[in-house]
Each structure stands twice: as C-alpha cells, then as structure tokens.
Amino acid sequence: MKAAVACFATAVFVSVSALEAWADEGGSGFWLPGSFAAQAAVPVARGLTVEMSYYHATANADPTLNVTRGNNLTSGLNTTSDFLSVTPTYALATPGLGGQLEFSLTLLMGNYSAADPGTTISDSMTAVGDLSPSATQKWTLGVHNFMAYAAANVPIGGYDPSRLATTGLGYWAVDGGAGYTYFDEANGHEFSAVLGLTYNFMNPNTAYQTGIDLHLDLSASQYLSDNFYAGVAGYFYNQITGDSGSGAVLGAFLSRVAGVGPQIGYDFSLGGRDSTLAARAYYEFAAQNRPYGWNAWLTLSIALGAPAKNAAPAL
C-alpha cells in the first residue's frame, strides 16, 4: 500500500528540477531545492511508473539587489512559476549491483513570469521546458534504504537571453549525489536525507557559468493510518564556487537559501494499481543573492508495471 509513495519521491526530483526558470544567472543553477522528499531512497514498484505534477512558486528578490537575467541586469526580480510535468520512471525487473536500477525522463511545459520591480519592465512566457533524464540505483537492508543518483539538464526549452522570462535554462547541467531513508513500514516512521552537487556548464548565449551548488533535502513523516501520512520537509541550498565568465558582471554572486514546510500523502488503488496523491509546500528563508518566497507541489503517481499486492481504498 505504501509502495507508491516511493514512486512519487523518486520521480518528482526530476520533474521539478527544471521548473524554476530564473535559475540561470539569477542566483542559482539547475537544481531546484526541495526536489527530494518522503521515502526518497526507497525502491519504487518494478516496471513503469508515471507521475504527473503541478508546481507553483512565487519568489522575489530584494529590490536593492542587482540580478542578472540573461542579457538583462535588474534591480530585484519578482517571479511566478506554474508548470505541469509528466515523468515516466522505469525500474528494471532484474536486480543490478545488488539493488534496483531506475531510469526517469521528465517532460514539462508551463508559464514563467518575471518583472523588474525597479522599472515597469515585465515579461511572461508559456512554452515547453528543458528535458531532465536521470538514473538512480537503490539498495534496501531491512528498514535502511540507500541510493545514488545522477541527473542532467538538456537545454531544449524556451530560451531567449534578451527576455526576462524563459522556460528553459539555455545551458547543460549535471547533478549527482547520495541519499538515505529510514522507513519502518510496520510503525509508519520515515526519515530521509539526500545530499547532492550540481555542475552548471557555461551558458553559450551569455558567456555566464553558474558555480557548483551543494544541496541537502530532508524529510520526516509518520503514517497516521494505513494509507495517510503527514510530516515536514526541508532543504538547504548553498553555492560553493563562484559564478564565472565574461557575462558574470556581478562577480562570484554566491547564493544560498533554506526552506521548510508541511507534506502529506494518501495511498490508494487506481484500477488495481498502487497510486499516491501527495502535496507539500515550502517557505523559504536565509536567502542570499537570489529570489525567495514559497513554493508548492501537487503530485499524482501511478505504478503501472505492477498491480497493488494489497488493494488500498479507492480514491
């Protein structure tokens, strides 16, 4: 009954990684903080899992902070993001490296709006975003679960360096890391932590290269019934090397942010398939050199490859 929660946690990190379009030259890189949540390192159901997500974020930078956005230099930056994504994840039936190997690919489209609070300049774009493939290897030893993952950003989304609003980054990026989940299914206790690093390649459109980013995502939750869990999720994001390139007119521009908020999830059977409807939201604080505010996800995950072993309540 709880297996579908892991499907959500595995697929969602790719789904939302490319959503925040202000991520290049705006104080961050490819990685979106908070992408991992409940049961991040628990293996998903074998076969195909499909996840659909709606993501909303509102973020503002201090109007006294200069921010580069493509070829633009703004005094502050106010942004709003609304994206829908579809992420198919396939878990191999044959164990590999003593555990389970999973592959995911995220397709997304949506709207990103940005405004310079120091002027009357504003912009909005509705288009497809970048592709985000990933591979994850997981191992389980009783209540202990371990994972290693690698992800990438393929810059095919809407991007124009002359505009404030874009739905793509305009450059390649790679991300990788490791995680751990303690999951006592009998008592419903869960704790997850995932640590990763992001390398952002040079943006050829602006000669700007965002520095290396370190990110830590955390989750603690409790099943309050056989099918419903609630808890808290958080993240810490810190840029550990400075921005570079001739386009980095503001210098190193090291950024950081932290976030915390509630998370809930409900497991159910949809046509005999393990499914989960999950939601979480974050309030951001301790930000430096980047817009910050709040963000929220609503996610439906359906395991198509394997019927539910024990039918959960219908939605």
Which of 166 and 94 is assigned the larger pLDDT? Answer: 166
| Alpha helices per DSSP H over the chain | 3-17
Residue 314 — pLDDT band, cuts 50, 70, 90? very low
pLDDT band, residue 160 (cuts 50/70/90): very high
What one-character DSSP code corresponds to residue 312?
P
pLDDT of 288 strictly over 80: yes
- How far apart CA 46 and CA 102 sit, in angstroms, is 9
Return the higher-pLDDT residue of 303 and 26. Answer: 303
3-state secondary structure 97-137: CCEEEEEEEEEEEEEEEEECCCCCCEEEEEEECCEEEEEEE
Indicate the SS3 state at residue 23.
helix
Point out the least confidently predicted range of 1-5, 60-64, 96-100: 1-5
- Amino acid 20: pLDDT: 42
Structure confidence by residue, pLDDT tens digits, 217-251: 999 999 999 999 999 999 999 999 999 999 888 88
pLDDT of res. 28: 64
* 121-125, 210-214, 310-314: range with lowest mean pLDDT: 310-314
Give the domains, in start order, of the chain with CATH numbers.
Answer: 3-307 (2.40.160.40)
Distance, in Å, from the CA atom of 229 to the CA atom of 120, rounded to the nearest integer, reads 45
Q: How much is the pLDDT for 69?
A: 76
More confident residue, 65 or 14: 65
Residues 128/159, Cβ–Cβ less than 8 Å? no
- Residue 30's nearest CA partner among 198, 195, 178 is 198
d(CA 297, CA 302): 16
Q: Which residue has the higher pLDDT, 297 or 65?
A: 297
